[in-house]
Amino acid sequence: MPQRTGSLLVPLFILLAGLFASAYIQILPELALELLPWLPYVLASVMVFLAWHFNRGKVLLAGGLILLPAFYPYIATESFPSSSTTVAAIGLGLLLVLRERGFFNRFVFNRILFLAMLLAWSVAYEKGTINFDFLAINVPLLDVTLSSLLCWAAIAITSLLSLSYWWRKADGFSTAVLVSLATLLLIECQNFSVNQDAAIRSAQILVWVWFVIAESHRMAYRDELTQLPSRRALNEAMLALPRHYAIAMLDVDHFKKFNDSYGHDKGDDVLRIVGRVMLRYGGSASVFRYGGEEFTLLFKGRNVEQAEETLEQVREEIQAQRLDVSTDAKTKEISVTASLGLAYSTTGEAPGDVIKRADQALYQAKRKGRNRLMVAAD
C-alpha cells in the first residue's frame, strides 16, 4: 500500500465514523445524548495524558487548538470565519514547521502565549475593543469585509501548506493536521447541532489519539537512522513464517575502518544509503536493520525463488552509490560495498538456526574477498 494512502486510511475512517454518528445522532439513548457533549473533553484529557506520557508538546498544542472553537459561548462573534477557527487553523499550520520540544517547558509556554495573544487580538477586534477601520471595508465583487477575506486567505494558505507538507512527508503528524483542518472547515461551514458537533469533534480528537499510539509503535519497531523495521520487528515477523522461506544477512564491508577514517557522521550516511537501497526492494523481501552495520532480508512466498537474483541487485546497487567525503583540501567521492549470506529454510528448522546459517555464509563471503553473495548449504 502506498505510504500516502496508508497514512490517510485510519484517520479518514475515524472521521467518516464521526460523520456517520452525527447523521444518526437522534437514535441514541437519552443518557448518551446527555453525555455526548462531554465526550470531546474526555477524549482531550486522554490525548493530553498520552502527550505527557510520550513527551509530545506539539500534540498538547494541537489538542488545545482543535478544542478552541468548541468554546463558542465565550468567544462567539458574528464574523465568518470565526476568530477561533482562524487561529486554530493557523496554529495547526505552524505546528507542521515547528520542532518537537517536549511536553511542557519554556518552548511550549512561548507557543501557547503567542497563540493566546493572536486569539486575544482577533476577538478584541471583532468585539470592537480595538478598531482598524480599513479592515471593515467591503471588498468589491466579493461582498465580504477585508478582515473576513484575510481570515479566509490565512486558512487557505495554511490548508495548502498542510496539503503540500503531507504530500512530501505522508507521516502521521502531517496527516493528523490535514484531517483536523478539514474537520475545522466542515464544522465552520455547516450548521451542526450541539450533539452533532460533539460527535464530529470527538472523531477529530480520536485522530490525534491514534497518531500518538501509532507513533509510539513506530518508534518501538522502526530504526530511527535508516527508517527500516528494527530487530524487534524481525523477531515478531519470525513468529509466523510459512513452511518455505529464506533469510539473508547483509553486512557493510570495512565499516569500522570507514568510521575511523571519515568519522561516525559519514558512517551514519553509509547506513542511510544502504537503508534507502533496501527500502526499494521492500516489495520483494521484508527488510530490517539487524544491528550495527548488519541488515536482514526475509523472503517468503514466491519471492523465495528470486532471492538470489534480488540480493545480487541489492549488492550491485549499493556498490553503485557514491558518498561525498570531500574536505577543505580536496574533493573526493567513494563507494561502499556489502557482503551477503543467504540461507534457505529446511523442514523442521527453527528460524534462529536459519539466521545462523545465513551468518556463516556471510562470513564466508567476507573470507572470499567481500562484495559478494554466498549461499549456505542445507
**pLDDT at position 191:** 82
On whether both 137 and 172 belong to a single domain, the answer is yes
**Last residue of one domain, picked from the residues 189, 221, 253:** 221
The count of structural domains within the chain is 2
- 3-class DSSP state of 291: strand
Residues 183 and 271 in one domain: no
Q: pLDDT band for position 245 (50/70/90)?
A: very high
- CATH code for the domain in which residue 295 is found: 3.30.70.270
Amino acid at 248: A
Cβ atoms within 10 A of the Cβ of 65, count? 23
Q: Share the mean pLDDT of the chain.
A: 86
CA distance 299 to 306: 9
Q: Say if 43 falls within a structural domain.
A: yes
Give residue 296's pLDDT.
Answer: 95
φ/ψ of 229, rounded to 5, equals: -55, 145
Model confidence at 283, in pLDDT bands (50, 70, 90)? Answer: confident
Our answer to whether residue 293 is catalytic in this structure is: yes
Which residue carries 518455505 as its cell? 244
Structural domain of 169:
3-221
Residues ≥6 apart with Cβ < 8 Å to 208: 47, 59, 62, 63, 66, 176, 180
Domain end position, chosen among 194, 221, 248? 221
120 phi/psi in degrees, rounded to 5: -60, -40
Do 79 and 213 sit in the same domain of this protein?
A: yes
| In-domain check, residue 242 | yes
* Residue of 30, 78, 293, 309 marked catalytic: 293
Work out the average pLDDT over 297-304: 90
The identity of residue 74, as a single letter, is: Y
Instruction: Provide the residue type at 173 as one letter.
Output: F
Grid cell of 176 as nine digits: 493528523
Note whether 236 and 211 are same-domain residues.
no
| Residue ending a domain, choose from 221, 245, 266 | 221
59 and 96 part of one domain:
yes
Q: Is residue 108 part of a domain?
A: yes
Same structural domain, 248 and 115? no
H helical segments located in the chain: 3-23, 30-35, 39-53, 57-67, 72-75, 83-97, 106-127, 146-169, 172-189, 194-221, 231-237, 255-262, 264-279, 307-320, 351-367
Residue 162 lies in a domain: yes
**Are 135 and 80 part of one and the same domain?**
yes
- Is residue 97 located within the same domain as residue 119? yes
Residue 283 belongs to some domain of the structure:
yes
In a domain, 210, yes or no: yes
* Structure confidence by residue, pLDDT tens digits, 156-191: 999 999 999 998 888 889 999 999 999 988 888 888
Q: Same domain, yes or no, for 169 and 315? A: no
Cell of 76: 462567539
Query: Residue 241 pLDDT > 60, yes or no?
Result: yes
308 and 327 assigned to the same domain: yes
Residue 74: pLDDT band by 50, 70, 90 thresholds?
A: very low
Query: What pLDDT shows up at residue 323?
Result: 86
Question: What is the C-alpha to C-alpha distance for residues 82 and 87, in angstroms, rounded to an integer?
Answer: 9
Residues 296 and 356 placed together within one structural domain of the fold: yes
**Residue pLDDT, tens place only, 114-161:** 888 887 877 777 777 776 666 667 777 777 778 788 888 888 999 999
Q: State whether 189 and 248 are in the same domain.
A: no
| pLDDT mean over 326-344 | 86
The dihedral built from the CA positions of residue 155, 156, 161 and 163, taken in this order, carries a sign that is: positive
pLDDT for the residue 209: 93
Among the listed residues 31, 43, 32, 97, the one whose alpha carbon sits nearest the alpha carbon of residue 70: 43
Mean pLDDT for 85-90 is: 86
> In this structure, is residue 226 part of a structural domain?
no
In a domain, 81, yes or no: yes
